[in-house]
């Protein structure tokens, strides 16, 4: 069963926790690599969510008068 994607806020919280743990130092190499890998995945997920939100805002701003969200293509 695929993992449910995290909300932007939850992803950002996890990313902050990873950064704090890594900054504390004295991590075994394998743990540091695991944290780095997870952090990179979270960073990419958060970046994509921000891009999607930006696209929605741009669509809303382009609409004259009527403020109504419309679908946008994510397969660019």
Q: What does the pLDDT look like over 10-30, one tens digit per residue?
A: 999 999 999 999 999 889 999
What does the pLDDT read at residue 42? Answer: 96
Dump pLDDT digits (tens) for 45-68.
999 999 999 888 888 777 756 655
Find out whether 32 and 23 touch, Cβ atoms under 8 Å: no
What does the pLDDT read at residue 34? Answer: 97
Q: Which CATH number fits domain 8-61: 3.40.50.1820, 1.20.210.10, 1.20.120.140, 1.10.287.1040?
A: 1.10.287.1040
Query: Phi and psi for 75 in degrees, rounded to 5?
Result: -100, 45
What does the pLDDT read at residue 2? Answer: 53
The SS3 assignment for 2 reads coil
What does the pLDDT read at residue 10? Answer: 95
Tokens matching residue 35: 């944290």
Q: Where are the domains of the chain?
A: 8-61
């Amino acid at each position: 069963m695929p993992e449910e994607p995290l909300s932007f806020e939850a992803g950002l919280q996890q990313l902050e926790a990873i950064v704090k743990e890594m900054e504390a130092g004295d991590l075994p190499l394998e743990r540091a690599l695991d944290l780095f890998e997870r952090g990179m995945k979270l960073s990419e997920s958060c970046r994509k969510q921000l891009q999607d939100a930006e696209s929605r805002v741009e669509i809303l701003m382009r609409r004259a008068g009527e403020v109504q969200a419309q679908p946008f293509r994510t397969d660019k």
